Chains A and B, each alone.
Chain A
Amino acid sequence: MGTTARITTVRRRESSLRQAVRATPWLLPAGLLIFGVVLFPAGYLVYDSTRDIGLAGVDQGSAGWANYRQLLTGYGLTHVLINSAIWVVAVVTLSIVISLAIAQLLNNQFPGRRLVRMAVLVPWAASTVMTTLTFVYGLDPYYGVINRLLVQMHILSAPFGFTKQPVPAFITAIVVGIFVSLPFTTYTILAGLANVPKEILEAAQVDGAGSMRRYFHIVLPFLRNAIALATLINIINVFNSLPILQLLTGSIPGYSADTTTTLVFKILQGEHNIGVASALSVINFAIVLVIIAIYLRTVRPTKRIED
């Protein structure tokens, strides 16, 4: 009896090894890409952050913690981190709230609904650089047509230099950030709305529940997963967003309108300081890892597939 059991175990172990071997060629191309283009550069960042790399990119030996020390002292990092937090919280919160409203509207049948859905899709398909440049142009105090329209509608008394000062430029970037985020969040919430059981909504209506009550007590709880998902993926996208802030606040000297992401590119491209750029990237990486951990805990994206 004992021997039979052992033989079975051995055979199963053998076959599970063989299973893994047989799977390898099927997963190899994707695995190589993930390793070579995602994991390896991540490791490279960590390594470079401790190296003394010259302006020409030559590694001049270990730097210890010098890159991190320079990062903490030379760039007003506290202010930049606060900017990142404001940027992410403002863009993501407002995108989700506005998306809930737009998705609710699009979940109804009305003439022209298809056109509206397609219009909402446009900023998603368009390159963010191109969309942002339209705002850069339109908000120019001299030749900007949006500025002109705001004056003609008596919202402004004179054209305003939206992108000339740190605070207005940052707020403008937040508005553009929301605009660009809305398609994804709206579509995710819209997909979630399709799963709200109509029978329950109708039963509640028969019981006399008003539309507000129905929304907050039935629809929103059913949307929990969709909202969590839209929020977390949007947090990652917004935290990593470069072009909007770079194009709208790039002409402002100093780091007062920078987030940790735009600052990496200033240090990398403007100052050619690869060591410090790597150190800041490592900090960004750590922040993203925390967000991923929250994502994996609350949304469990592989659950359906692993079952």
Chain B
Amino acid sequence: MTTSNTLIVGPAQAGAAVQEDTGISRAGRRGKKSGGKLALKAFAGLVVAAVFLFPYLIMLLGSMKGRYDVLAVPPTFFPKVWHPDNYIKMWSASQTPLLDNLTSTLIIGVGATMLMLVACIPAAYYTARFRFPGRGVFLFLVVVTQMLQPTLLATGLFQEFGAIGLSDTLLAMILINAAFNLTFAIWILHSFFASIPREINEAAQIDGAGNITTLIRVNLPLVWPGIVTAVIYTFVASVSEFSASLVILTTDTNQTLPVALSKFVGQFDAAWQYLFGVSIVAIIPSVLLFMAIEKYLAGGLTAGSVK
């Protein structure tokens, strides 16, 4: 009975697909009368957007200010002289080796994402397709993982990775970020795998394909939006992780950008213009990536229980 439509329903089952058309019909029916109301809503929307973007505007303008301009008393909102060259000079800032910090951040982000895929694709596929003893316990542990965050366990993580000789290594942070983002990835992938009609998998197995072949040849091409979502979410969360990185990474060249930047505060020559420049460089790709998976974000964190 299940038709191929179910495949398209996949994302909606993640519980996050937000209807795009709510309110159109009503607004249309009331015609001109609703024009004023519509303008009011658009205005309210503009205010909301302005509030949310305001700190990042300060960041952007600050990144273009000169060394003395950025600390001027009283301050000006716009730079007196625009310094786009900050975006080149900042990489050789004396406060922290920013180029190394960026490299460490990216290695951790990419490493954690790849490890997450290796761990989550098989787990999500198997729990979505099969019922077996221990399945409930496993899914329960996945929920608990979301609730126990690196911040809560930081002291234990510090001690554990110290004991096994992985303190101050990028590998430790790859393991930590992969583990704590498992929940989001497994929920998202699980809901995508579960939306694939049983018949498709059965047909593949009648043709003699094993579980691994069925997963790779038949399922993966159908769940790629879920994989993209899991990849982006894990990457963005890993490159912004702060608490565990703060206690694990002690050498300045190993430190990720959030840790390195947090140490700018209170320094004599804080070089806010560079801090903001690096922040802009880090935030823009993260925002663009999040925009691409906007529809699924809530679903992965809430295990589809919004419905």
Enumerate chain A interface residues (CB-CB to B < 8 A). Answer: 16-17, 19-20, 22-23, 25-27, 29-34, 36-45, 48, 57, 102, 105-113, 115-131, 133-138, 142-146, 148-149, 179, 182, 184, 187-188, 190-195, 198, 202, 225-226, 229-230, 233, 236-237, 240-243, 246-247, 250-251, 261, 264-265, 268-269, 274, 277-278, 281, 284-285, 288, 291-292, 295-296, 299-306
Contacts of A105 in B (CB 8 A): 41, 44-45, 48
Cβ of B32 within 8 Å of any chain A Cβ, yes or no, is: no
Say yes or no: B123 contacts A195, CB within 8 Å.
no
Distance in angstroms between the alpha carbons of A193 and B16 in the assembled complex: 10
CB-CB nearest 10 A-B residue pairs: A41-B156, A37-B179, A127-B240, A26-B126, A119-B49, A125-B290, A29-B119, A129-B258, A45-B156, A110-B41
Contact A41 B306 (CB under 8 A): no
- Closest B residue to A140 by beta carbon equals B75
Q: Which residues of chain A come closer than 8 Å to B72, judged between CB atoms? A: 143
Sample (26) of A-B pairs whose CB atoms are under 8 Å apart: A19-B130, A23-B130, A38-B148, A40-B156, A105-B41, A105-B48, A110-B45, A120-B49, A122-B287, A123-B52, A130-B257, A136-B265, A143-B74, A148-B77, A187-B297, A188-B306, A198-B22, A225-B305, A226-B306, A229-B305, A240-B149, A240-B243, A250-B265, A251-B266, A281-B154, A299-B305
Q: How far is the CB of B51 from chain A (nearest CB, A)?
A: 8
Inter-chain contact A133/B275, CB cutoff 8 Å: yes
Is B133 touching A20 in the complex (CB atoms < 8 A)?
yes
Q: Which residue of B lies closest to A285 (CB)?
A: B152
List residues 99-152 of chain B with CB under 8 A from any CB of chain A.
Answer: 115, 118-120, 122-123, 125-127, 130, 132-136, 138-149, 151-152
Q: A127 — which chain B residues lie within 8 A by C-beta?
A: 239-240, 242, 257-258, 279, 282-283, 286
Interface size class on chain B is 35 or more
Which single residue of chain A is at the shortest CB-CB distance from B41? A110
Contacts A112-B46, A117-B294, A302-B136: A236 and B147 contacting too (C-beta < 8 A)? yes
Residues of A within 8 A of B291 (CB): 118, 121, 125
Per-residue interface assignment for chain B, residues 256 to 273, with 1 indicating a CB less than 8 Å from any chain A CB and 0 otherwise: 011101101110000010
- Report the separation of the CA atoms of residues A8 and B27 in the bound assembly, to the nearest whole angstrom: 63
**Chain B residue with Cβ nearest A32:** B119
Q: Is the CB of B143 within 8 A of A194?
A: no
Chain B contacts for A106, CB-based, 8 A: 45
Given that A30-B182, A135-B55 are contacting pairs, would A41 and B305 also be in contact in the complex, using a CB cutoff of 8 Å? no
B56 within 8 A of A: yes
Cross-chain contact of B75 among A57, A148, A187, A241 (Cβ < 8 A) = A148
Chain B nearest CB, measured from A268 CB (Å): 6
Determine whether the beta carbon of B182 is less than 8 Å from that of A143.
no
Tell me, yes or no, whether B3 is within 8 Å of chain A by CB: no
**A37 in contact with B175 given A127-B282, A292-B147, A302-B136 (CB within 8 Å):** yes
Cβ of B207 within 8 Å of any chain A Cβ, yes or no, is no
Q: Which of A113, A134, A281 contacts B276 (CB 8 A)?
A: A134
What chain B residues lie within 8 Å of A131 (beta carbons)?
55-56
Contact of A191 among B133, B157, B272, B306 (CB under 8 A): B306
Indicate if the CB atoms of B306 and A149 lie closer than 8 Å: no
Q: Please, which residues of chain A bring their CB within 8 A of the CB of B266?
A: 250-251
A300: which B residues are within 8 A, CB to CB?
305
A95 to chain B: closest CB distance in Å? 13
Contact B264 A128 (CB under 8 A): no
- Among residues of A, the one whose C-beta sits closest to the C-beta of B240 is A127
CB of B192 within 8 A of chain A? Answer: no
Taking a contact as CB atoms under 8 Å apart, the answer to whether B175 and A36 are in contact is yes
Q: Which chain B residues numbered 130 to 188 have a C-beta less than 8 Å away from chain A?
A: 130, 132-136, 138-149, 151-160, 162, 175-176, 178-180, 182, 186
Given contacts A16-B133, A134-B55, contact A240 B258 (CB under 8 A): no
B: which residues have CB within 8 A of A? 15-19, 21-24, 26-27, 38, 41-42, 44-46, 48-50, 52-53, 55-56, 58-59, 62, 70-77, 115, 118-120, 122-123, 125-127, 130, 132-136, 138-149, 151-160, 162, 175-176, 178-180, 182, 186, 190, 194, 236, 239-240, 242-243, 246-247, 257-259, 261-262, 264-266, 272, 275-276, 279, 282-283, 286-287, 289-291, 294, 297-299, 301-307
Cα separation A277 to B156 with both chains bound (whole Å): 9
B residues in contact with A226, CB < 8 Å? 306
CB distance from A269 to the nearest CB of B (A): 7
* Known contacts A38-B145, A125-B289, A133-B262, A281 near B298 by CB under 8 Å: no
Contact partners of B153 in chain A: CB under 8 A: 38, 41-42, 45, 281
Residues of B within 8 A of A116 (CB): 45-46, 48-49
Contacts of B49 in A (CB 8 A): 112, 115-116, 119-120
Say yes or no: A120 contacts B52, CB within 8 Å: yes
Q: How far is the CA of A271 from the CA of B307 in the complex (A)?
A: 47
**A302 near B140: Cβ-Cβ < 8 Å:** yes
Establish whether residues A19 and B133, one from each chain, have CB atoms under 8 Å apart when the complex forms.
Answer: yes
Contacts of A184 in B (CB 8 A): 298, 301
Pair A143/B45 contact, Cβ less than 8 Å: no
- CB pair B123–A191 under 8 Å, yes or no, is no
- Cα–Cα, bound, A112→B38 (Å): 11
Q: Given A26-B122, A44-B159, A123-B52, verify A195-B290 contact (CB < 8 Å).
A: no
